[in-house]
Amino acid sequence: MQIFGVDIGGSGIKGAPVDLDRGDLAHERFKVLTPHPATPDAVADGVKEVVDHFEWRGPVGITFPGVVTGGTTTRSAANVDKAWIDLDASALLGERLGGCPVTLINDADAAGVAEVEFGAGRDRRGTVILLTFGTGIGSAVFVDGVLVPNTELGHLELNGHEAEKRASTKAKEDHELTWEHWARRVTGYLAHVEMLFSPELFIIGGGVSRKAQKFLPLIEGIRAEIVPAQLQNNAGIVGAAMRAART
């Protein structure tokens, strides 16, 4: 069975049909740049371009970098235009896609759902936290495989700063941090999250998961096991399609 998944990120909008039996992309993903400002209309145009690339006509699951309620409404907008707040985004996107049924899910929640079903969190009990490092820091918290949605732990305050402003991949790039310096910031963030939730497992996702060997060995003093996401940066696409299939 195939369902289309789209992952809206701070830098790119990417998508592909997903093979839900394998938990993997059925075709190589297609990506366009996220518009700036990332207004609803401009992002909807980008989503349409991605979906039209595959001539897809059917259900579409779409991630959003913020709080999503009911699979339809976007409630926050930390790294996109404020016009997304309290918007019926599924109606806007569905109309732009010619009436395709659209289901929305928080971007990190989507990645977490995919990793727990098919990746690094499979068959893991207890508290599992997936963290995606990119333009911001996304989070997905699971207790015995059940998602606690919209946790948005990237916005925790850490040493007087919003955590994602200090420890995201964007922060690394903006401040030209070495892997060693950035790993120290990530370690401080993980220690704070661990103090609050005492997870058994951290899964590190986002595009930086492809370079896990450069920074994971530098993280010390965390009691929980730390592993890179197995689906890497495709996890959001897969999780979005999974959510659409279950709606």
For 55-66, the pLDDT digits (tens) are 999 999 999 999
Confidence band, pLDDT 50/70/90 cuts, at residue 16: very high
How much is the pTM? 0.95
Residues in the chain: 247
Instruction: State the total domains in the chain.
Output: 2
- Cis ω on the peptide bond leading into residue 101 (within 30° of 0)? no
Task: Determine the pLDDT at residue 8.
Answer: 96
- CA distance linking residue 178 with residue 184, whole number of Å: 10
Q: Is residue 117 part of a domain?
A: no
- CA distance linking residue 214 with residue 62, whole number of Å: 30
Give yes or no: residues 241 and 215 share one domain.
no
Confidence band, pLDDT 50/70/90 cuts, at residue 200: very high
Give yes or no: residues 15 and 66 share one domain.
yes
Closest C-alpha to 38, from 72, 71, 96, 82 = 82
For 136-185, the pLDDT digits (tens) are 999 999 999 999 999 999 999 988 999 999 999 999 999 999 999 999 99
33 pLDDT more than 90: yes
Give yes or no: residues 138 and 195 share one domain.
yes
Confidence band, pLDDT 50/70/90 cuts, at residue 125: very high
Task: Determine the pLDDT at residue 41.
Answer: 97
207 pLDDT more than 90: no
For 78-124, the pLDDT digits (tens) are 889 999 999 999 999 999 999 999 999 999 999 999 999 999 999 99
Domain that holds residue 35: 2-109+235-245
- CA distance linking residue 16 with residue 18, whole number of Å: 6
- CA distance linking residue 99 with residue 2, whole number of Å: 18
11 pLDDT more than 90: no
| Residue 182, domain CATH | 3.30.420.40
Tokens 């349409």, located at residue: 48
Backbone angles phi, psi at 23, to 5 degrees: 65, 40
